Amino acid sequence: MPDTMQTTRPGTASTDTKATVTMSALTQLMPAVQQADFSAAFAPSNAESTVMLQTKGLMPATTTTAMTAAPSSAPSPMEKVNQPPEINLSPHALPTDAPLDDRLILVEDPDSERAASFRILRHHLMDHGRPQVIVISSANEGEGKTTCALNLALAMAECGRARVLLLEGTLRRPQLADIFQFVPPWCFAEQMAAHREQPLMPWSAVDIPDLWLHVAAIDPDGQRNQLLDAPSFAIALERMRLAGYDHIIIDAPSVLGSAEVNLIQDAADGVVLVARSKRTTLRVMRKAIEQLSPTKIIGTVLLK
């Protein structure tokens, strides 16, 4: 029987706050996920870490993190491609004088059963081979994939147990910048376009130290009609895999009505599908799984 947790947050309507996270909820569609002890120990990287401070106008300070091994001689172009990328980190703190987004469950209500359910999801994923790049999607819009993606990323990064990057793959309906209340120092969509021509350029992400999380977000004020470019996204994922992250969580577009998630899944280790109770039908889930085939679908998450 899959692990299921429910709770109702005090002082709010139960219909808005009940959340259930179930791994492999649609057992007739997905293979069962085996349970095993979760170990929070992660082997440290053998690469040498170099940290430099820079100043940028948009953020108070920028930390440039470059995971590089000290070469004995000038590296060849091919060696440069295989070296970890340079990432400019702009620090950001969640505001204390403004309400937080209700979808930040592990921040607003970390001791709740809803928060615990995402930790259980983390446990199941670790038991499933510790995938590095995980795509979070749903059959249709409005079924909770962004809520799942950001709370899974928070659960994986919790207490610094792992280095986690939350990456936005939804170009036409970006939400991460608004949820965390920051302006992206460099829109991730613009970064992908620039790095297609110059893949060895530094990258940019927002560092939220209190949450042990890095976020590469798309500027919500940018162009909304752009489509995902598969080669650019593949380059981005290839470089981020070398950056030393234990896990990269991708908030992807919905499956049906677009082929963008199919372009994203090709660069990932697996897909987690999110379903909404009393909204997502079995027929719709079957169609989504058929469109994603033969991609490795790790499991499903049921939100109530």
Structural domains of the chain, ranges and CATH numbers in brackets: 103-304 (3.40.50.300)
> Token digits for 114?
């809803």
pLDDT of the residue at 144 = 94
CA distances to 72, 81, 184 from 76, rounded to whole Å, are 12, 9, 33
First-last CA distance in the chain: 18
Q: What are phi and psi of 165, to 5 degrees?
A: -115, 125
Q: Which amino acid is present at 39? A: S
Element (H, E) at 68: strand 62-68
Percent pLDDT > 70 in the chain is: 73
pLDDT of the residue at 119 = 96
pLDDT of the residue at 74 = 54
Averaged over 148-172, what is the pLDDT?
95
Average pLDDT over the chain, rounded to an integer: 79
pLDDT category at 44 given cuts 50, 70, 90 is very low
pLDDT of the residue at 259 = 86
Range in 73-77, 161-165, 224-228, 260-264 with the lowest mean pLDDT:
73-77
Q: What share of the chain is helix, strand, coil (3-state, %, to 5)?
A: 30, 20, 50
pLDDT of the residue at 120 = 95
Q: Is the dihedral of CA 296, 301, 302, 304 positive or negative?
A: negative
Report d(CA 292, CA 259) in Å as an integer: 9
pLDDT category at 31 given cuts 50, 70, 90 is very low
pLDDT of the residue at 75 = 54
Count CA atoms closer than 13 A to 221's CA, side-chain side: 5
Averaged over 240-266, what is the pLDDT?
93
Q: Please answer whether residues 269 and 296 qualify as being in contact, where contact means their C-beta atoms are separated by less than 8 angstroms.
A: yes
Percent pLDDT > 90 in the chain is: 58
Whether 71 has a pLDDT exceeding 60, the answer reads no
Report, in angstroms and rounded to the nearest whole number, the Rg of the chain calculated over CA atoms: 19
Averaged over 98-106, what is the pLDDT?
95
Averaged over 196-217, what is the pLDDT?
95
Q: Please answer whether residues 298 and 134 qualify as being in contact, where contact means their C-beta atoms are separated by less than 8 angstroms.
A: yes
pLDDT of the residue at 227 = 82
Range in 47-51, 178-182, 264-268 with the lowest mean pLDDT:
47-51
Buried b (16+ CB within 10 A) or exposed e, 54-70: eeeeebeebbebbbeee
